[in-house]
Amino acid sequence: MLYRSFPLGGSLLKKRSTASSTSSWIQEGEEYLMATYARFPLVLKKGKGATVVDVDGNAYLDFVGGVAVNILGHCDPRVVKALQKQAETLLHVSNLYYNLPQIELAKLLVTHSFADKVFFCNSGAEANEAAIKLARKFAKEKRDPSRFEIIAAHGSFHGRTLATVTATGQEKYQKGFEPLLPGFKHVPFGDAEAIEKTITPQTAAILLEPIQGEGGVRVPPKGYLARVREICNRNGLLLILDEVQTGIGRTGRLFAYEYEGITPDIMTLAKGLGGGVPIGAMLASVDVAASFTPGSHASTFGGNPLVCAAGVAVMKQAAAPAFLKKVREQGNYLMKRLAELQRKTAVIKEVRGVGLIVAIDLTLPALEVINKAMERGLLLNRTSDQTLRFVPPLTIRRSEIDRMLTILSRILLEVSDAEA
């Protein structure tokens, strides 16, 4: 694979003719794809580690990581090998039968978590949909038939299905899809007392992200989840943790709930679990999982042998203590360097994060920074108009962090000088 080198301070993109591969592919994309994304003018062709290359041969340092999906980098050799081997053996058989990779991955997830049982699906939204259904069914069967409400948090993001977009505490994702489903209430994130005050005889569960990802990498106060766990115990409620973005090592622990020394009743996973292939999972304790019986919920492609083989390869690497220690070290280094940059320029208002899920709030439009970075060979992501999020591969090297910071600092200092 050919990777081009470009000056850190210079422009990465070549002058393109109207006949460039990028232009022609984008034209076809505009013709055939629904406009559900405001895509950047890049057509990516291949990748390795933390680098991606477009159809015109331009290389980019990737700090978006497929939006926290490619935790082992692009085309990790062990994931690729697992997919190749499985593709030659068995692609799909449906859940009418058992398959070996599915059983192996379920065992790995149970062995390394609080859970006793696993349900596989295809995405984070589907995992959360399953969690909502399981929580309601359990509450009606084991608590009271009137219980169905779920308390979630403002600023949360739980998916794009009608149920999960209703659970999501951001109006921008709900607009145009009304009427939303009944049974969801929202309270400020990080405020355990607000949760307690919102509980009614109809409350079935609390649904939270340990750290809000799409909400801008919002980290709650220390002790928050422990307090919520106690509230759930006292009121007979289920605690559902959405670890779609924080799970599988993203925070430097295999699961973010470990930082608080508590366990949920239900947990959802996706993103990093497949290392780049689509897979979701809902995990639960045995007593809660028992409310799902044959026919009560299903997924045709869930636990597909191909994606589970990839998941096994991912888990065998991500669950290793040495791997997680490295994530914590790299995350601490990134946070430290961003804090140093904050002291050098007034355009950074705040730096926050845990492990390798990090964000900075800016005084200027984040999109302006993203576009300038892309011109210099760096891919960045925003969660709001003035918030940049960094979710690179968990295998990111320190030299790559330094390179990203060199590009970012030059952009921010240039912008800061221009505003002065």
User: Per residue in 85-137, pLDDT tens?
Assistant: 999 999 999 999 999 999 999 999 999 999 999 999 999 999 999 999 999 99
Active site residues: 157, 242, 271
Tell me the C-alpha distance between 357 and 360, whole Å.
11
List the domain boundaries for the chain: 21-69+322-395, 77-319
21-69+322-395 and 77-319 agree in CATH topology: no
Asked if residues 68 and 157 have their Cβ atoms less than 8 Å apart, the reply is no
Q: Which fold has domain 21-69+322-395?
A: Aspartate Aminotransferase, domain 1 (3.90.1150)
**Which tens digits make up the pLDDT trace of 150-165?**
999 999 999 999 999 9
Q: What is the pLDDT of residue 8?
A: 36
Token pair of 3 as six digits: 């990777």
Q: What is the DSSP letter of 180?
A: P
Choose between 82 and 417: higher pLDDT.
82
**Which tens digits make up the pLDDT trace of 309-328?**
999 999 999 999 999 999 99
Asked if residues 360 and 350 have their Cβ atoms less than 8 Å apart, the reply is yes
**Which tens digits make up the pLDDT trace of 238-260?**
999 999 999 999 999 999 999 99
CB under 8 Å to 336, separation ≥6 — which residues?
Answer: none
**Measured between alpha carbons, how far is residue 242 from residues 197, 215, 318 in Å?**
22, 13, 18
Is the pLDDT at 223 greater than 90? The verdict is yes
Q: What is the pLDDT of residue 414?
A: 87
Asked if residues 69 and 268 have their Cβ atoms less than 8 Å apart, the reply is no
Q: What is the pLDDT of residue 16?
A: 36
Query: Per DSSP, what are the bridge partners of residue 238?
Result: 205
Choose between 356 and 414: higher pLDDT.
356
Residue 419 pLDDT level (bands cut at 50, 70, 90): low
Tell me the C-alpha distance between 190 and 177, whole Å.
27
**Which tens digits make up the pLDDT trace of 21-66?**
899 999 999 999 999 999 999 999 999 999 999 999 999 999 999 9
Q: Which fold has domain 77-319?
A: Aspartate Aminotransferase; domain 2 (3.40.640)
Tell me the C-alpha distance between 408 and 404, whole Å.
6
Choose between 419 and 415: higher pLDDT.
415
| C-beta pairs of 395-400 under 8 Å, 24+ apart in sequence | 395/49, 395/50, 395/71, 395/72, 395/73, 395/76, 396/50, 396/63, 396/73, 396/330, 396/356, 397/50, 398/330, 398/333, 400/50, 400/61
Task: Tell me the whole-structure pTM to 2 decimals.
Answer: 0.93
What average pLDDT does the structure give for the chain? Answer: 94
